[in-house]
Amino acid sequence: MTLNGWLQIGLVLGLVLVAVRPLGLYMAAVFEGRRTPASLALGPVERGFYRLAGVAPDKEQGWLAYTLAMLTFSALGFVSLYAILRLQAYLPLNPQGFDGVAPDLAFNTAISFLTNTNWQAYGGETTMSAFSQMAGLAVHNFLSAATGIALALAVTRAFARGGATTIGNFWVDLTRATLYVLLPLSIVVALGFVAAGAPQTLAGSVDATTLEGAKQTLALGPVASQEAIKQLGTNGGGFFNVNAAHPFENPNAFANILQIWSMLTVSAALLIMFGEMVGSERQGWALFGAVGALLLCGVALVYASETAGDPLLTALGLDPAQGNLEGKEIRFGQALTALYVAVTTGLSCGAVNAMHDSLTPLGGLVPLFLIQLGEVLPGGVGSGLYGLLAFAVLSVFIAGLMVGRTPEFLGKKIEAREIKLAMLAVLILPLAILGFTSVAAVLPAGLASLANSGPHGLSEMLYAYTSAAGNNGSAFAGLSANTPWWNTTTAIAMVLGRFGYAVPVMAMAGSLAAKKKGAPSAGTFPTDGLLFVGLLIGIILIVGGLQFFPALALGPIVEHVLMLAGKTF
Amino acid sequence: MSHLRPALVLLLLFTALTGIVYPLALTGVAAAIFPQQAGGSLIVQDGKIVGSRLIGQNFASDVYFHPRPSATTAPDPNDAGKTVDAPYNAANSAGSNLGPTSKTLVERVKAAAEAKTAEGWTSPLPADALTTSASGLDPDISPAYALAQIPRVAEARGLDAAKLRALVTAQTKRRWLGLIGEPRVNVLALNIALDAFHARQ
């Protein structure tokens, strides 16, 4: 670790910090229907959309109608995306003449983009036409992120309101999230990427003759426009096979900083928006503090572990000062690679600027663990906030048990129904992750796809289901995931992780919205102070993390010990 | 069922807006204000495209500076189900994805390290000379790796090593404001400068 490295990390986090408050307050204004400077240009578009869709923007929905609207929209999105991928060969803008995508891969990919996972069992430049990338995949980068924001808004309103039967209108939230937040930010960020060097062209590829006279085919495409929303929407599905490690997706240090900034800022700003909408910005900052502290620990562990390097390689004479460079790019450096690794998994982004499979054992443990915590640091756009609120509800419940008082959060009494629903949501991750990993570990169809053996092989499988169920999308990419077994099971894990989590949380929101908002009394546990922040961190680590410890011990932890002992596999 | 109409209409409208209007408008704007970058940062010499400033090339000859090892592959022309090594295949980016305790990785690095030592390199060896990048297309190498190659290039070209060192130093990019980024050398730019320098001699 170097001082310069920490300064670069501090600089990026500082840039996020200054943007979080204005963006959070702006989003609160947008979603409460107040006029903003953007209304002038976007208001007519918004109203036109409602008219065509037959949506009455003032008519709100109860939690069940809201959830059904979300599910209907997702189901329709799945059907259309699956059709686009299968019929790719007959659709326009296919300069390389790619065939239609195979059924199991199209199924996996459609689920993957719909659930904001963006797990990719394919290499973009060898599988997807420009049309599939733009009108298929990029559209769902916007819509799955907007859906996440909408769900987070519904939960936010449940805390903000008292004695309410409705929690907003899904179609309005979806439309506003896309028009007022994601699209304008994408345009600015995409131009930033182009300025830094990311291509934005409809040409599929161009042939070059190298200095040594060989032919080199350079895959191109509308990269920058997809890159922007992929980061802002915490989607993470790359244009190219190696994602943001590709020089065209992420050309230099400036682009890399913009990548990290754009994936982190929207999710972090949602915490401030939450505080503002429930009438206590301080509450938003308390949540921000808890996730910030955990995330920084993750960054530090990856950075320390990667700069310590792989002793098996330094023993062969490699310069230890450069750290572990296998699977990393020179232009990013160890510090901003470590920051990227932790942020992309603390979020549900899953974009990568280094190959996670080649990280050192402890460097690879961090992304695994951060996803397993439920991706609440600060999580995917929307999904992170509602996941974090489930943990906050559990925290006040446990605090209430300790002092023998009915727990309250933001003036709402937390009772048996809310705790059951929160636990149902939190338990879906271990079910999907540990359940599928243990099955894959004993089936030939699962094991045949491994690229590494020994404990690292277990980590590859564990990472795949962790990433799928956590809707992250990054991978220990040595695993050959494009097989019927992996395509099918990871798709199921993605559905469980998205909807198995969101539906109980929405039911919890419905029951919370109906409760009266009590005034705080002398016995109320304040949830915007340091004590609560500490408790929340503890609950996230214990409830979210401890259940995965045995699996982590068999994978990365044992690999670390064996690496120090000089074992190879 | 009342959800079906808004779901269908909004999906169509947003597909048109975010899937077609947004990328196409951006393509137009990018071509107008950043034509070089939008087209892939191509380098054209004597009317021929010789590569992209951002994408590494597989230099193997002794007269050029070499890039990092690359893990990219291409379909085997003799057997469609298999792949063959094709370093710097910019149509199919890939990393090695070998973990830190992989025997394959350790043996690969060991063989490469022995070859470098036989060439006269001394320890510590630049790590980027022996490890594959994440994309397999890394355009850059560390200044240490570039300097270590000077004896070979100088001998193959019959050029003065001190002058080559000046050339490498001139091609080394420093951190912006001493803070942001990493010191590095773009191999393609260095080799183009090397050819130009050699032609002047």
Domain boundaries, chain A: 3-207+216-282, 381-563
Confidence of residue A4 (pLDDT cuts 50, 70, 90): very high
Contact B180 A199 (CB under 8 A): no
Between B6, B97, B191, which is nearest A55 by CB?
B6
In which element (H, E) is residue B73 found?
Answer: strand B73-76
Whether the pLDDT of residue B1 is over 70: the answer is no
Contact A360, A324 (CB under 8 A): yes
- The pLDDT value recorded for residue B103 is 95
The tokens for B172 are: 């080394």
In this predicted model, which residue has the larger pLDDT, A403 or B171? B171
In which element (H, E) is residue A430 found?
Answer: helix A416-440
Between A191, A226, A310, which is nearest B100 by CB?
A310
Nearest CA to CA, how far is B162 from chain A (Å)? 24
Mean pLDDT within A531-548: 91
Single-letter code of the amino acid located at A299: V
Residues of chain A found within 8 Å of residue B127, distances taken between Cβ atoms? 309, 313, 318-319, 322-323, 325
Helix, strand, coil percent values for chain A (each to nearest 5): 65, 5, 30
Probe site for chain A from B9, B15, B83 (most A CB atoms < 10 A): B15
Residue A113 forms contact with B (CB below 8 Å): no
Between B11, B91, B113, which is nearest A317 by CB?
B113
Probe site for chain A from B59, B133, B173, B186 (most A CB atoms < 10 A): B133
Nearest CA to CA, how far is B66 from chain A (Å)? 12
Closest CA to A110 of A501, A499, A491: A491
In this predicted model, which residue has the larger pLDDT, A524 or A490? A490
Tell the burial category of A130 from Cβ atoms under 10 Å away from its Cβ (0-12, 13-18, 19+): buried
How is residue A101 annotated by DSSP?
P
- Rounded Cα distance, B73 and A297, in Å: 37
Per-residue model confidence as pLDDT tens digits over A343-374: 999 988 899 999 999 999 999 999 999 999 98
- The pLDDT value recorded for residue A558 is 97
The tokens for A117 are: 């996972």
- The pLDDT value recorded for residue A126 is 86
Contact B63, B126 (CB under 8 A): no
Nearest CA in chain B to A75: B7
Nearest CA to CA, how far is B78 from chain A (Å)? 19
Residue A236 forms contact with B (CB below 8 Å): no
Tell me the sheet residues that pair with B173.
Answer: B184
In which element (H, E) is residue A231 found?
Answer: helix A223-232
Size of chain B in residues: 201
Closest CA to A120 of A105, A98, A101: A105
Whether the pLDDT of residue B186 is over 70: the answer is yes
Contact B97 A451 (CB under 8 A): yes
How is residue A457 annotated by DSSP?
H
Would you state the torsion angle of the CA atoms of residues B52, B56, B61, B62, taken in this order, to the nearest 10 degrees?
110
Show Cβ contacts of residue A440 under 8 Å, excluding neighbours closer than 6 positions.
Answer: A446, A447, A461, A464, A465, A485, A489
**CA-only gyration radius of chain B, Å:** 22
Indicate the SS3 state at residue A35. Answer: coil
Single-letter code of the amino acid located at A505: V
- Rounded Cα distance, A366 and A557, in Å: 11
Mean pLDDT within A373-399: 88
Nearest CA to CA, how far is A28 from chain B (Å)? 22
Residue A201 forms contact with B (CB below 8 Å): yes
Q: Domain spans of chain B?
A: 4-38, 42-69+99-200, 70-96
Between A222, A318, A361, which is nearest B27 by CB?
A222
- Rounded Cα distance, A422 and A23, in Å: 28
- Rounded Cα distance, A378 and A390, in Å: 13
Nearest CA to CA, how far is B16 from chain A (Å)? 8
Per-residue model confidence as pLDDT tens digits over A64-86: 999 999 999 999 999 999 999 99
Residues of chain B found within 8 Å of residue A217, distances taken between Cβ atoms? 89-91
Confidence of residue A566 (pLDDT cuts 50, 70, 90): very high
Interface pTM (ipTM) of the complex? 0.96
Contact A73 B10 (CB under 8 A): yes
DSSP string, A63-81: HHHHHHHHHHHHHHHHHHH
Residue with tokens 């983009």: A113
Contact A251 B41 (CB under 8 A): yes
Query: Where does A441-483 have alpha helices with state H?
Result: 444-447, 455-469
Contact B188 A211 (CB under 8 A): yes
Residues of chain A found within 8 Å of residue B20, distances taken between Cβ atoms? 134-135
Tell me the sheet residues that pair with B176.
Answer: B180
Closest CA to A254 of B55, B171, B182: B182
- Rounded Cα distance, A515 and A453, in Å: 53
Nearest CA in chain A to B181: A253
Between B60, B90, B184, which is nearest A217 by CB?
B90
Between strands B79-85 and A408-409, the pairing is unpaired
Residues of chain B found within 8 Å of residue A136, distances taken between Cβ atoms? 19
Contact B11 A76 (CB under 8 A): yes
Indicate the SS3 state at residue A274. Answer: helix
Contact A46, A176 (CB under 8 A): yes
Between A222, A224, A563, which is nearest B101 by CB?
A563
- The pLDDT value recorded for residue A125 is 82
Between B10, B34, B182, which is nearest A333 by CB?
B182
Contact B92, A241 (CB under 8 A): yes
Show Cβ contacts of residue B2 under 8 Å, excluding neighbours closer than 6 positions.
Answer: none
Per-residue model confidence as pLDDT tens digits over A12-47: 999 999 999 999 999 999 999 999 999 999 999 999
Tell the burial category of A56 from Cβ atoms under 10 Å away from its Cβ (0-12, 13-18, 19+): exposed
What's the per-residue H, E or C state across A121-145?
CCCHHHHCCHHHHHHHHHHHHHHHH
Contact B100 A190 (CB under 8 A): no
* pLDDT, mean over chain A: 94
Residues of chain A found within 8 Å of residue B177, distances taken between Cβ atoms? none
pTM: 0.96
Whether the pLDDT of residue A490 is over 80: the answer is yes
DSSP string, A499-550: HHHHHHHHHHHHHHHHS--PPP-TT---SSSHHHHHHHHHHIIIIIIGGGHH
Contact A355, A367 (CB under 8 A): no
- Rounded Cα distance, A69 and B153, in Å: 66
> Judged by CB atoms within 8 Å, which residues 335-364 of A form the interface with B?
352-355, 357-361, 364
Contact B18 A142 (CB under 8 A): yes
Query: Where does B60-186 have alpha helices with state H?
Result: 103-118, 143-148, 150-157, 161-171
- Rounded Cα distance, A76 and A59, in Å: 23
Contact A230, A118 (CB under 8 A): yes
Closest CA to A147 of A505, A509, A508, A502: A502
Per-residue model confidence as pLDDT tens digits over B42-79: 999 999 999 999 999 999 999 999 999 999 999 888 88
Indicate the SS3 state at residue A362. Answer: helix
Contact A194, A200 (CB under 8 A): yes
Contact A61, A69 (CB under 8 A): yes
Closest CA to B123 of B92, B99, B96, B148: B148
Contact B187, B67 (CB under 8 A): yes
Contact A66, A172 (CB under 8 A): no
Tell the burial category of A566 from Cβ atoms under 10 Å away from its Cβ (0-12, 13-18, 19+): exposed
The tokens for B45 are: 């010499």
Closest CA to A474 of A304, A352, A321: A352
Mean pLDDT within A263-272: 94
Across chain A, how many H-helices and E-strands are there?
23, 4
End-to-end CA distance of chain A: 28
Between A174, A248, A330, which is nearest B142 by CB?
A330
Whether the pLDDT of residue A378 is over 90: the answer is no
Contact B91 A456 (CB under 8 A): no
- Rounded Cα distance, B86 and A460, in Å: 25
- Rounded Cα distance, A545 and A13, in Å: 25
What percentage of residues in chain A have a pLDDT greater than 90? 85
Question: Which backbone phi and psi does A485 adopt, to 5 degrees?
Answer: -60, -55
Residue A480 forms contact with B (CB below 8 Å): no
Nearest CA to CA, how far is A133 from chain B (Å)? 9
Residue A46 forms contact with B (CB below 8 Å): no
Indicate the SS3 state at residue A131. Answer: helix
Closest CA to A339 of A432, A257, A434, A454: A257
- Rounded Cα distance, B73 and B135, in Å: 11
Residue with tokens 């790019």: A329
Per-residue model confidence as pLDDT tens digits over A135-171: 899 899 999 999 999 999 999 999 999 999 999 999 9
Nearest CA to CA, how far is B161 from chain A (Å)? 22
Question: Which backbone phi and psi does B141 adopt, to 5 degrees?
Answer: -135, 165
Between strands B184-186 and B172-173, the pairing is antiparallel
Indicate the SS3 state at residue B24. Answer: helix
> Judged by CB atoms within 8 Å, which residues 504-543 of A form the interface with B?
none
Residue A565 forms contact with B (CB below 8 Å): no
Nearest CA in chain B to A225: B23
Contact B157, B135 (CB under 8 A): no
Per-residue model confidence as pLDDT tens digits over B65-117: 999 999 999 988 888 778 899 999 999 999 999 999 999 999 999 999 999 99
Single-letter code of the amino acid located at A526: P
Tell the burial category of A435 from Cβ atoms under 10 Å away from its Cβ (0-12, 13-18, 19+): middle
Mean pLDDT within B152-179: 95
Helix, strand, coil percent values for chain B (each to nearest 5): 45, 15, 40
